[in-house]
Amino acid sequence: MQTPPLHRRHALALGAASLLAPGSLLAQSPAFINVLTGGQSGVYYPLGVALAQIFNKDVPRARATTQVTKASAENLNLLQAGRGELAFTLGDALSDAWRGDAEAGFKTKLDKLRGLAGIYNNYVQVVASADSGIKTLADLKGKRVSVGAARSGTELNARAVFKAAGLAYTDLAKVEYLPFAESVELMKNRQLDATLQSAGLGVASIRDLATAVKIVVVPIPAEVVAKVGDAAYQPAQIPAGTYTGQTAAVATAAIPNFLVTHSGVSDEVAYQMAKAIYANLDTLYAAHNAARGIRREAAVQGMPVPLHPGAERYYKEVGVIK
C-alpha cells in the first residue's frame, strides 16, 4: 500500500483531530429529547408538546419530540429502558417504580430514574352521569365504571381511593380500563355510569363530557384520603365552576406530578431542560391551565428519586437549593 505524501498525511491528521475537537461537528451532535406524555385528551400531552417546542427553541442542538403513551407507569419503564429522555409521572407511581413494586407494574427497582422537576398537582376526579343516580363513592357499587388504562397512574389512583373507601373492583357491575377520551365516549353513549380520571383541573376530556351530558362530580372526603395511607395523597378541592354544571367545590385527593429523566442523559442536557422550563412558563400556561400550578421554588419538594446532577446544578444556581 502506497504511503500518502507528507502534506497529504498532515491534512488527514488535521481532519481526524478536528472531528474529536471540542466545538467540532462531532462534539456538536444533536441532543435528542423524546418527551413521554400520556393520552391526547389528558394534560400531559399538550404540556409535552409545549415542552418539545421550548426545548427545540432554547436547548442547544436539541431535537425534541413527543410520544403518546399510557402515562406514568409506561413512561417510567420506557425511561429505565432508555427509550425516552423526559417523562411525566404521578408521584405515587414514581415512588412505586423506585421501590420496584411489582403490583404497581414495576418488576424491578427502576434505578436509572432521576428527578428533573416537581410540577403541578393531579386531582382524582370521579365523574358520573347525573341520570346514574351516583352521588357518593358508595353509590358506585353495582355501576359501570372506567378506571383508566390498566396500570396507568390513574388506575393506580383508582385502586388506592376505592380501597380506602371500602370498595373493590368486584363491587362494580363492570370495570373498563380505558384512556380518558374513550371513557367519555362510552359515557355519552350511556354505556358507562362513571369515570375516574386523575389529571389537572379542567382536563379536556371531562370538559367535553360536561358539555354533552349533565354530570355529577363525586366527592372523595378527606377521611378517605387519609385512609389511603400514602403521603403523596393530600386532601384538596375541585373549585366550583371547573366544569359546566358544577356549581359547588368538591372534595378530592391531590397527588403531585413530576418530570423525570434518567441517568444516561448528560448533565448539560438536564441542566438546559430545567433552565428552559422555568424561562418559558408562559408557553406552558398557554398549553394548559394546569401548568399554572408549576412553581420553581417547589421544584424539588417531595421528589421520590435522586435529582439529576444537571438539574441540581440549575437549582443551586437559582437559589432553590442552598
Q: What cell numbers appear for 158 in the block?
A: 383508582
User: pLDDT of 98-122, one tens digit each?
Assistant: 999 998 889 999 999 999 999 999 9
CA pseudo-torsion sign 176, 200, 215, 126: positive
What are the structural domains, with CATH classification, of the chain? Answer: 30-119+256-317 (3.40.190.10), 122-255 (3.40.190.10)
User: pLDDT of 40-70, one tens digit each?
Assistant: 989 999 999 999 999 999 999 999 999 999 9
User: Is the pTM for the entire model greater than 0.85?
Assistant: no
Contact between residue 216 and residue 135 where contact means Cβ atoms under 8 Å apart: yes
Give bridge partners of residue 174 from the DSSP assignment.
144
User: pLDDT of 123-167, one tens digit each?
Assistant: 999 999 999 999 999 999 999 999 998 888 899 999 999 999 999
SS (H, E, C) 141-155: CCCEEECCCCCCHHH
For residue 41, what pLDDT is reported?
Answer: 87
Q: What cell numbers appear for 260 in the block?
A: 423525570
Please name the residues in contact with 251: beta carbons below 8 A apart, sequence gap of 6 or more: 219, 220, 221, 222, 235, 236, 237
Angle (CA) 275 278 281, round 5°: 145
User: pLDDT of 171-195, one tens digit each?
Assistant: 999 999 999 999 999 999 999 999 9
Please name the residues in contact with 203: beta carbons below 8 A apart, sequence gap of 6 or more: 41, 42, 43, 125, 180, 197, 290
Contact between residue 265 and residue 308 where contact means Cβ atoms under 8 Å apart: yes
Angle (CA) 161 166 172, round 5°: 85
Question: What's 60's DSSP letter?
Answer: T
Alpha helices in 117-266 (DSSP H): 153-164, 180-188, 204-212, 222-228
> How far apart, in whole angstroms, are the C-alpha atoms of residue 322 and residue 316?
6
